[in-house]
Amino acid sequence: MKNKKILLLVALLSISQLFAQTAKQDALVLYHNGKYREAVQVCEDEIKENPNRVESYVVMCWALVKNKQYAEAEERAVEGLAVSPYDLRLIEILGEAKYYLGKNSGAMEQFQRYVASAPESGSRVGVAYYYMGEIFIRQARYQHADIALSSAVKKEPLLDTWWTRLGYAREMAKNYLEAMNAYDEALRLNSSSVDASRGRERVSTKLQ
């Protein structure tokens, strides 16, 4: 009889864990399907059940940023980091939230933390370098922006918008030949890019 009770308890625990995993997957599926508000609500419910569920904080913050709820994303990322201080996903998304809130120094700090700790193959390393480059452009530190954006396109070489921004940083730093090369690569990837075409035209006049 005692063994049967133990087996029943184990079975109930397994079912409970299965339901928990399903709920987590549902939030992620909602996020990937662009249903950001619904994903946030599922994550909220999960956190109420278990305040230490880091995965729920991560998916929630991703969804909040996608839904342009940057202040909420910042707040929940900080809460998540209180649970798991070294979670790289939360560090990176906190940087994004701060970036969109115009908190350049705070965003830069998070992105630097991320790239310093993430493996070279980390899925968001290129993104972090891209945002660092954009922050440097905001600060008119164009040589620094060149370095950061060069690192970004090295990680993600097929994004024409990143090459365009690299071209702009180089143009503003008066590195016109290198700017031309970046604009040309952007146009090779996307021949209809208006920003890259205009940038190339501006640089062409400087090189004449």
pLDDT digits over 117-136, tens only? 999 888 899 999 999 999 99
Work out the average pLDDT over 98-103: 98
- Domain of 202 in residue numbering reads as 119-208
Q: Of 78, 71, 49, 73, which Cα lies nearest the Cα of 59?
A: 73
Residue 56 falls within a domain, yes or no? yes
Q: Please check whether residues 83 and 139 belong to one and the same domain.
A: no
Query: Measured between alpha carbons, how far is 130 from 127 in angstroms, rounded to an integer?
Result: 5
* pTM as predicted: 0.85
Query: Measured between alpha carbons, how far is 163 from 179 in angstroms, rounded to an integer?
Result: 9
Residue that is last in its domain, among 42, 73, 91:
91
Residue that is last in its domain, among 39, 71, 91:
91
Query: Measured between alpha carbons, how far is 122 from 131 in angstroms, rounded to an integer?
Result: 15
Q: Please check whether residues 166 and 83 belong to one and the same domain.
A: no
Residue that is last in its domain, among 45, 72, 91:
91
Do residues 59 and 33 make contact, with C-beta atoms less than 8 angstroms apart? no
Tokens encoding 137: 């452009």
For residue 66, the model assigns a pLDDT of 97
Do residues 42 and 26 make contact, with C-beta atoms less than 8 angstroms apart? yes
Residues whose CB is less than 8 angstroms from the CB of residue 89 and which lie 6 or more positions away in sequence, other chains included: 58, 124
Q: Of 157, 170, 165, 166, which Cα lies nearest the Cα of 203?
A: 170
For residue 10, the model assigns a pLDDT of 39
Q: Please check whether residues 208 and 127 belong to one and the same domain.
A: yes
Q: What is the CATH number of the domain that holds 47?
A: 1.25.40.10
pLDDT at 181 over 50: yes
For residue 193, the model assigns a pLDDT of 98
- How confident is the model over 39-86, as pLDDT tens digits? 999 999 999 999 999 999 999 999 999 999 999 999 999 999 999 999
Tokens encoding 162: 């990143």
Residues whose CB is less than 8 angstroms from the CB of residue 107 and which lie 6 or more positions away in sequence, other chains included: 95, 96, 98, 99, 131, 135
Do residues 61 and 79 make contact, with C-beta atoms less than 8 angstroms apart? no
Q: How many structural domains are present in the chain?
A: 2
